[in-house]
Amino acid sequence: MSFLSFFLVFSQASKSDDKLDEQQLLINIYGNQNSKKVINYDKSFVSESKLFYESLEKKSSTQLSDKDKIEFTLNNYIEGSSYNNLEQLEGVFTENATLYLTVNGEFKSLTPKEYVAFFKDAEKGKFNGRYGKVLSIEVVKDIATAKVEISIPERKMIYIDLLLLKKSENNWKIISKTATQVDGN
């Protein structure tokens, strides 16, 4: 019955030229303002007078492909470094990961804690000008490589990060990283 109500409301909303607000959609779905039922907003949203519904069941992590899980890890890496979120950034690495980077003109081997420390003085949650883009992912059973571009337009810098990932307990973590600046500086 609720699926039928949902379908009818969605059909009505998508055909209507009038914009329906969120409250009106809830009233249309559940009959009146006094109804205690609530839409699960993790699974649905209202946009341009239309209600979109992802699915009745949330996808579990076991239903995601390895590539999806790797992209999730890489997006956490990009977001953690772009918004100075130390916990999020450190969480994408295994404890014993090794990062091979050039720091102040010198080749160094760093731990994840040492790498994350580069972001410790910046305000957590504030965008620091780093933009990231996943360029490629290659998966072979329980290992993967990824290539990520990090650009910092304000400082006219572009880096390519090469990452090695390992699957452990159904999750993917970065076990090694190296990077080089490719913008000519």
Residue spans per domain, the chain = 2-53, 66-181
Residue 155 DSSP code: G
Nearest residue to 71 via CA among 127, 9, 18, 147: 147
Q: Is the pLDDT of residue 175 over 80?
A: yes
66 vs 138: CA distance, rounded Å? 10
Q: Which residue has the higher pLDDT, 31 or 184?
A: 184
Task: Kindly give, in sequence order, each residue whose CB lies less than 8 Å from that of residue 6, ignoring residues fewer than 6 positions away.
Answer: 29, 51, 53
pLDDT band with cut points at 50, 70 and 90 for residue 184: low
- Contact status, residue 70 vs residue 139, Cβ threshold 8 Å: yes
The type of residue at 24 is: Q
Percentage of the chain beyond pLDDT 90 is: 63
What pLDDT, on the 0 to 100 scale, is given for residue 63? 82
Q: Which numeric CATH code is attached to 66-181?
A: 3.10.450.50
Positive or negative: CA dihedral 161, 165, 101, 115: positive
49-103 pLDDT, tens digit per residue, is: 334 434 334 455 558 999 999 999 999 999 999 999 999 999 999 999 999 999 9
DSSP 8-state assignment for residue 174: E
